[in-house]
Amino acid sequence: MTAIAPHRRLNLLTGDWVLVSPHRMARPWQGEDSPVQVERGTSHDPDCYLCPGNTRADGIVNPNYGGVWVFDNDFPALLSPDGEVAALPGSEEILVGAPVTGVCRVMCYSPDHSRTLARMERAGLEAVVEAWTAQWQELSARPDIAAVTIFENRGAMMGASNPHPHGQIWATSIVPDELAREAVRQAGWMNRRGSALLSDVLDRELREDRRIVWSNPEWVILVPYWAVWPFETLVLPRRPVADLAALGDAERKGLAEAVGQLTRLYDRVFDTPFPYTMGLHQRPCQGPSDGFVLHLHAYPPLLRGATVRKHMVGFEMLAMAQRDLTAEAAAVRLRDCSKAVAPW
């Protein structure tokens, strides 16, 4: 088989390019070798700030919650509009600043300290999706909120400050850069072609079937052609909808199944709790959102094994993103893992 030469691929969602260098997979590795991540199997950790009944760092005692629990972050990155806003340069061309307000919340998926998304049963995952939807409906309706970002950082390697299974919700008064670029690109595609960008991508991927990882009647997991992270995935709805509130009951249940399947697949790649950043992109809350399709991104850093990660340094920081493992090879690896994951 002819080797694939170095080339670049365009991310249709952002306009960025990624350099693909498949031949580098054969290079020797003498770089960082991180310790294997271990998840504690206890259902309740008396030292955990997020377990039921425990006292958090600010002295607040958690309720004895029995399911999904959402609370305002004790150390939020954003303050509500009635909070004090520091003075900022307003009219200068060099030092340009602007205030940003918002709401930051924490969502505990389960009272069980060991119950990660990959270890949750169907009912628990469906409860998480329902809570995501409720948070979106509440926060997106506020006139002071322009975007709602729902995400999870799993594992110390991804900067998670607490091992208790949880995610976060940041509702901002501005549309963050990544979402803004995606919204512009999707609207432009719709205006030029009369169809949704991600629907067209999904149609092409289903026809080609080289980067599909898993699917159910409502959702498809795939490695995007333009993936940057080694086992990056994109979860797309078969029916183009712009936000969680537009999903039907079967679609929300299907999303829960897809999230459970994806996280279990990740844990099988290297037989270790797989760190990742994962999050939902939904339409901006304010203004038009032509062609925008709800989707979920997952960015896991592990590359060659449970202890070797992909670092975004050097050329990636100074020039452009680069990857060695092709999206097609990553999809094959993930599909092979699905054979060892028991269906619901």
Assess whether pLDDT exceeds 60 at residue 83.
no
Share of the chain above pLDDT 90, in %: 74
- Could you say which DSSP state residue 133 is in? H
Could you tell me whether strands 302-305 and 212-215 are parallel, antiparallel, or unpaired per DSSP bridges?
unpaired
- Residue that wins the pLDDT comparison between 82 and 4: 4
Reply yes or no on whether the pLDDT at 1 is more than 50: no
Parallel, antiparallel or unpaired: strands 321-323 and 17-20: parallel
Residue 17 is predicted with a pLDDT of 98
pLDDT of residue 26: 55
- pLDDT per residue as tens digits for the range 4-50: 889 999 999 999 999 999 877 555 544 554 555 556 578 999 999 99
Looking at residue 329, what is its pLDDT? Answer: 94
Catalytic one among 23, 113, 164, 166? 166
Ranges 27-41, 57-71, 255-269, 299-313: which has the least confidence: 27-41
Q: Give pLDDT, residue 33.
A: 47
> In the predicted model, is pLDDT for residue 264 greater than 80?
yes
Beta-carbon count within 10 A of 197 CB: 22
pLDDT at 92 over 80: no
Half-sphere exposure of 302 (CA within 13 A, CB side): 24
For residue 107, list its beta bridge partners. Answer: 70, 167
Q: Tell me whether residue 144 is exposed, middle or buried, using C-beta atoms within 10 angstroms of its C-beta: 0 to 12, 13 to 18, 19 or more.
A: middle
Amino acid, single-letter form, for residue 70 = V
Can you tell me which residue has the tokens 């844990």? 267
The answer, yes or no, to whether residue 180 has pLDDT greater than 80, is: yes
Domains of the chain: 41-338 (3.30.428.10)
What pTM did the predictor assign? 0.92
Distance CA 306, CA 269 (A): 9
In this structure, the number of other CB atoms found within 10 A of the CB of residue 72 comes to: 11
Sheet holding 219-222, edge to edge: 69-72, 102-108, 166-172, 147-154, 276-281, 295-299, 233-237, 219-222, 212-215
311 is catalytic: no
- How big is the chain by its Cα radius of gyration, in Å? 21
Q: Name the percent of the chain in helix, strand, coil, to the closest 5.
A: 30, 20, 50
Identify the pLDDT of residue 217: 97
> How many other CB atoms are there within 10 angstroms of residue 341's CB atom?
16
- Residue 306's pLDDT is 77
Closest CA to 223 of 328, 340, 293: 328
- Dist CA 159 CA 297 (whole Å): 17
Position 87 confidence tier, pLDDT thresholds 50, 70, 90: low
